[in-house]
């Protein structure tokens, strides 16, 4: 099985989410099921049905996170080079379309979140940036069309 790269922060965040689901959310759902059972006929009990659906969702999410953690390989990002873009690098880009600047950290697929400025190493932009240097131009085919960027800074 292929190991999926992840930063230490990303691993810790997933682990924290798993602990929350197991220690807080799961017991709350079990209590809700018990309370709903006390309301009588389960076949017509909307609270019971909703609690069971929530339980199914929570158990699926727990399993999903456990799989992600089991398949993850924590990558050491403490001694990153600022010469070339690599896993864990934070890259500031100039968007040729609008002249604006964007900053992204290159992370593993299990921790990417574009709104938080983290893009996957497996994404089209992530792949295009790997190995590039400051002042290099990058062209990426995206669902919205071709995008062009210039690398302004690597940290």
Interval 8-28: pLDDT, tens:
999 999 999 999 999 999 999
CATH class of the domain at 90-154: alpha beta
Q: How far apart are CA 109 and CA 78, in angstroms?
A: 19
Nearest C-alpha neighbor of 90 from the set 152, 16, 39, 32: 152
Domain locations in the chain? 4-74, 90-154
pTM of the model: 0.81
> H helices within the chain, ranges in order?
8-20, 26-37, 46-70, 124-129
CATH classification code of 4-74: 1.10.287.180
Average predicted confidence (pLDDT) for the chain: 92
Instruction: Note the pLDDT of residue 1.
Output: 65
Strands 90-95 and 72-74: unpaired
Strand extents, DSSP E, 69-144: 72-74, 90-95, 101-107, 118-120, 137-142
């Amino acid at each position: 099985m292929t190991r999926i790269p992840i930063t230490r922060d990303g691993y810790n965040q997933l682990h924290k989410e798993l602990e929350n689901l197991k220690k807080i959310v799961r017991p709350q759902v079990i209590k809700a099921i018990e309370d709903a059972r006390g309301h009588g006929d389960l076949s017509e009990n909307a609270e019971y049905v909703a609690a069971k659906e929530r339980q199914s969702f929570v158990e699926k999410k727990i399993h999903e996170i456990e799989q992600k953690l089991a398949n993850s390989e924590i990558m050491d990002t403490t001694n990153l080079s600022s010469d070339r873009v690599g896993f864990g690098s934070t890259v500031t880009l100039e968007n040729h379309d609008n002249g604006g600047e964007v900053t992204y950290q290159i992370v593993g697929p299990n921790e990417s979140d574009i709104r938080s400025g983290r893009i996957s190493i497996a994404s089209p932009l992530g792949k295009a940036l790997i190995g590039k240097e400051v002042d290099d131009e990058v062209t990426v085919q995206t669902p919205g069309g071709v995008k062009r960027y210039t690398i302004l800074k690597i940290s």
